[in-house]
Structure 1
């Protein structure tokens, strides 16, 4: 293939990937926005409510991340059926994923209700905060089965290539959550202070529920998102080809095993990544409020930018799954490596934002000069690992398109927990008699090491998976 033809094909494929990725990016940012709104509004109630919502979120979010990762296994399954034009196999796969979602949602709800108080006691959370956090968790638990169903329908839509549904209903959820937070957390007194005494009597009489209101608002938004997307998938024309076969089906062990075989490793991988950052935050807690605040600011801003390569990786799963379903194995290989190149290009953009926009960004988060200075320095460290981070997340997305998820799990656990956290702890805390340790910088250098190892190992796996002569990499 000539260089000019390859360049033209690269541009065409990059455009197709971008059209899939942009709605996913919007949806991811909207979901982050829901958590941001919760924290921001809780902070305007009182310090106890803010602490309760923050602590409570640290309990249920990692569990939900694992659940969502497990359900993400539906995307490559649907994408491959779409590519193969086997539309009659899509509906049964979605039904079985919904059964899995329902069970995971109920189990997750029961787990946070049962384990929440014990976790707060283990973490030595002050009694007043723990009491409010428990109430908040009990309210959030009501919505977990619904969010599991919503995410399943979302990944079904993504697998069809209809990623705009993710954006539409994530924005809908953000709007519902924002309004419900205002109504339930602040109640009539808060609304009166904001809009004046002319409120309708029904609104003016609403009680201010604080942390309970925040949890109920989250559960309500989850429920309405699931209901709205369910109706949409039943009515919208874009799903017409997939409405083949029975409108419902009982659990099928074979199809459920396939969903779990692909999905559980994804769930473990995502959980390993999220829990790594949680663990680092816990280790840094003893370094004082300036360090932990700067770490939180830098990590939050970096996480928002990370949505760019993450969305490309999720779109790659769809593109490769559909190409493999059509038997276009060479094209799938081209899509995979072209997508990784696109992600590395995005990493350049992220680095420019971190280096030149970082000082302005941290001013939005905090006005404390000491926190600002340290956060900017950490963002410069973050600029070093952007290429590794973009590479590993895009390669992982490509491998999911090949339904190759167990290796991702093994690599992720090793790279993040053994290399990343291990080296970060050693560099941060030091070694008696050898060196005193680098503090927060050591932990961030550990992130560079972990992400770099993940990128190298996953890259080697993708190269092996897509090499000529492999059954799933050769063909037209």
Structure 2
């Protein structure tokens, strides 16, 4: 039974995973192509990514509410309710995207006050402006993706994410390096490439949803179901706000740590960005599994089928455990080769290789905590897990990293030991809570 459930979850998860990996690949490609110019360009990209990471993932957390509510309505075979949740969810996420974009514009002057290398800050400013704008099409694309994922049409967004990769690479090649007569914009060129690619992806997915026969049953209900309803917004926010906080607290711990590491210098910041990019890439698979498990659990939860919820949950956790072990081995074996893909500076490569060993240690806990959070969202348990995640990252992980990094002079290594502690504690908290709730209900 566990093997059967695992296969079903993986089948649903694969297109989500591929799409997530494609999105992450865009960031890694940007990082690698910019890093080929200089490590200070790489450090500037890292500064912007760290500064905007918390508000960005808060926006992504809000989009998760769309897939959760659409999935439950879809499980009841209620196309009208699906349409209603889609409309209200899209408006909610659009407002969130506008607020986040505006906040990032206003945050630009504070880059000067984070104790970073002045040259890194100068390079980061124009990139920050472009990335703030590109938040809008990206979060709107994610909202549409959550809608299609909630209906278990996961291949649509996947194909668009894959199509975005060669477009982004070409635009990077033209605008970063100034090929074919285009201006050489370096890091700013990467920002323009990202904005154009994200806008195209959102536009095309929107047209597909509005015009394709697959989605006609939901769009045809627009006249009757596309209206604002306070109860619907409360339901969406009940899932969206805690989901945003959960993801935001984890990403926030990494982002704040990245900014702290930047105070050690451009070399540690660049090395941190390389190791973190690799860890974030593998985490996308865990996120895809978590989303698929959450969608399947949400359907079963709508029917109050706790034995099925337990089977789906345990099989997904076992899958995540096996995946985490594979990632840990990969990082340990190829720690010297992976940094070379991003930068040629010897100091950066050596430190990044060491940090990849730390990343190898937390691969298992990182994968399993993501699954635990997703499964709990599927049974609409979001408030207590949010508190538990906050304790793991902000009461234990980040303070421990700060003490080791600054008070014990361990630098970036100390901050990464804090990551290990926070992720491990989060995994124990979330998995234990899910299994205890299943035991209680069965």
What TM-score do the two structures reach when normalised by structure 1?
0.84
Once the two structures are TM-superposed, the CA of residue 402 in structure 1 deviates from its matched residue by 1.1
Query: Which consecutive unaligned segments of at least 5 residues does structure 1 have?
Result: 1-8, 193-203, 431-435
Q: 1:34 to 1:90 in 2, by over 3 A?
A: same
Q: How does 1:240-389 map to 2 (within 5 A)?
A: 240-243=216-219, 245-247=221-223, 249-288=226-265, 291-367=268-344, 371-389=348-366
Identify the range of structure 1 (419-428 vs 315-324) with the bigger mean alpha-carbon deviation. 419-428
SS of residue in 2 equivalent to 1:298 = helix
Once the two structures are TM-superposed, the CA of residue 242 in structure 1 deviates from its matched residue by 3.4
Give the distance between the partners of 2:298 and 2:80, measured in 1 at CA.
Answer: 17
Give the distance between the partners of 2:297 and 2:6, measured in 1 at CA.
Answer: 13
Counterpart in 2 of 1:429? 406
SS of residue in 2 equivalent to 1:251 = coil
Once the two structures are TM-superposed, the CA of residue 313 in structure 1 deviates from its matched residue by 1.0
Picking from 223, 234, 249, the partner of 2:199 is 223
Counterpart in 2 of 1:396? 373
Confirm whether residue 413 of structure 1 aligns to residue 390 of structure 2. Answer: yes
Once the two structures are TM-superposed, the CA of residue 191 in structure 1 deviates from its matched residue by 2.3
Confirm whether residue 113 of structure 1 aligns to residue 105 of structure 2. Answer: yes
Picking from 418, 423, 426, the partner of 1:446 is 418
Once the two structures are TM-superposed, the CA of residue 210 in structure 1 deviates from its matched residue by 4.5
Alignment RMSD, CA only?
A: 2.7
Q: 1:439 to 1:115 in 2, by over 3 A?
A: closer
The 8 Å contact of residues 405 and 413 in structure 2, kept in 1 or not, is answered as: yes
Counterpart in 2 of 1:85? 77
The 8 Å contact of residues 358 and 376 in structure 1, kept in 2 or not, is answered as: yes
Once the two structures are TM-superposed, the CA of residue 344 in structure 1 deviates from its matched residue by 0.8
Counterpart in 2 of 1:33? 25
Once the two structures are TM-superposed, the CA of residue 148 in structure 1 deviates from its matched residue by 2.2
Once the two structures are TM-superposed, the CA of residue 301 in structure 1 deviates from its matched residue by 2.0
Picking from 143, 165, 170, the partner of 2:161 is 170
The 8 Å contact of residues 76 and 402 in structure 1, kept in 2 or not, is answered as: no
Query: Which consecutive unaligned segments of at least 5 residues does structure 2 have?
Result: none
Give the distance between the partners of 1:208 and 1:294, measured in 2 at CA.
Answer: 25
Larger Rg: 1
The 8 Å contact of residues 46 and 273 in structure 2, kept in 1 or not, is answered as: no
Confirm whether residue 191 of structure 1 aligns to residue 186 of structure 2. Answer: no
Query: CA-to-partner distance for each residue in 1:347-389, whole Å, 9 max, x for gaps?
Result: 2212221232333323434455555454444333333333322
Give the distance between the partners of 1:139 and 1:356, measured in 2 at CA.
Answer: 37
Once the two structures are TM-superposed, the CA of residue 126 in structure 1 deviates from its matched residue by 6.6
Counterpart in 1 of 2:11? 19
SS of residue in 1 equivalent to 2:57 = helix
Q: 1:309 to 1:333 in 2, by over 3 A?
A: same
Q: 1:110 to 1:169 in 2, by over 3 A?
A: same
Give the distance between the partners of 2:33 and 2:354, measured in 1 at CA.
Answer: 29
Q: 1:291 to 1:335 in 2, by over 3 A?
A: same
Query: CA-to-partner distance for each residue in 1:141-198, whole Å, 9 max, x for gaps?
Result: 4433322221111011111112212311212232332333334444xxx324xxxxxx
Query: CA-to-partner distance for each residue in 1:105-160, whole Å, 9 max, x for gaps?
Result: 221222222221x2123225677765654433333344333222211110111111
Q: 1:10 to 1:226 in 2, by over 3 A?
A: same
Give the distance between the partners of 1:296 and 1:209, measured in 2 at CA.
Answer: 21
The 8 Å contact of residues 83 and 324 in structure 1, kept in 2 or not, is answered as: no
